[in-house]
Amino acid sequence: MENGIRLAERGSAWLRAGGGLDEALRRFGWFYCGAEFCENLLPTPGWYAREAEFFLGRGAAVCLLTPPVSEKGLKVLRPVFRGLARLARAAAGRIEVTVNDLGALQLARETAPELALNAGRLIYDNVLLADRRKLKVLNGEAVRLFASLGVDRFEISTTGRQQETNFGDAKAYGFRPSDIALTLHYPYLNLTSGRSCVTGMPDIGPEDSPAGVACRRECAACAFELSHPSINEPLTVRGNTVFLKFPAKFYRNADTLRRRRIDRLVYSPFP
């Protein structure tokens, strides 16, 4: 089982500032850096390249996270993908890019066909059905389509301990179990995301035609825990996304994960 840590847009600076870099390098093989849910948090192409070089230079592997994007974000992603593709040539198997937008997927294929791409937590459900009780491939057509785009790893979060799968019947569904690999993010499950931001975006009057998501990076100051009047579990809000925190014990052992094609765990120290 591979292990990773999600540093999001805080990147290696967060580990260095907290004094946890050496321990993290011992504990984790994969470092997940970049913005996953909001294009306003997209770092610069230079930042992505520096983060990749930083971890590759210390013998680790790195996965660069990218969010859903409007045209504004696409302009940032183009040089990001090109820069990472140059690094990937020298570090094959140790650089991946996660996309959370079908446009980002398309752009990556157009600009950097050699990059290893993962379908992120906002688009995996084009291929997989996941809930508390099930973790299933939707159909072979979906697997084949994403394979033709170079995507065979899917990132998920799920609370289910004993999920029913259809991986054993893969042939009938028109795929091979080896066609897919899963990365499981824990302990925060992203329940829902908007583009407009709960935390920071100013109110919009009937005469206002917004230019986009106004942002002063309020989400960088903190997250919020809150209790929903109809939901048992506490929720956590950061920026434009509402999370559910997993129960402490969310799987029995590594074998139960491997049976679900999960071969990588990614820990988030913060939502």
Partner 1 sequence: MRLVSCYADRSEIAPLVKAGADELYASARGLPSFTQAGLPDMRSLLLAVDEIHSLGAKALVAMNAVRPARNEAGMRTILARARSLEARGADGFIVAAPSLMSLFSGGGIKVPLHISSVQPCFNTAALRFFLRFGAKRLILPSQLAPREAGDLMRLCRAEGLETEIFDYRFFGCVYVNGRCNLHFPRFHTVKRDFNGGSLCRLSGGTPLKAAPVDIRPGAEEQVKASARRVALRMGCGGAPRFYNAATFYDFFGMGTGWLKYGTRLDPTAEKVRKVRAMKAMAGLAEELTAKHGAAEARQRFIEKMTKWELR
- As measured in angstroms, the least distance from the Cβ of 84 to partner 1 is 17
In the complex with partner 1, which residue's Cβ is closer, 70 or 256? 70
Shortest CB 153 distance to partner 1, Å: 17
Residues 6+ apart with CB under 8 A from 9: 33, 34, 35, 41, 42, 43
Copy the structure tokens of residue 225: 């825990």
Return the number of the residue (114 or 169) whose C-beta is nearest partner 1.
169
Classify the phi-psi angles of 107: left when phi > 0, otherwise alpha if psi is within -120 to 50, otherwise beta. Answer: alpha
Using the 8-state DSSP alphabet, how is residue 123 labeled? Answer: T
Q: Is the peptide bond before 247 cis (omega within 30 degrees of 0)?
A: no
Q: To the nearest whole angstrom, how small is the minimum distance from the Cβ of residue 184 to partner 1?
A: 13
Cβ proximity of 51 and 64 under 8 Å = yes
Which CB atom, from 60 or from 198, has the smaller least distance to partner 1? 198
Nearer to partner 1, 56 or 76 (CB): 76
Give the span between the Cα atoms of 40 and 158, in whole angstroms.
26
Q: How far is the CB of 194 from partner 1 (least distance, A)?
A: 5
Nearest-approach distance from CB 242 to partner 1, in angstroms: 6
Q: Which is nearer to partner 1, 93 or 205 (CB)?
A: 205
- Residue 220, CA atoms < 13 Å, CB-side half-sphere: 12
Q: Which is nearer to partner 1, 150 or 174 (CB)?
A: 174
Determine contact, residues 82/49, Cβ cutoff 8 Å: no
Quote the least distance from Cβ 217 to partner 1, whole Å.
9
Phi, psi of 55 (to 5 degrees): -75, -35
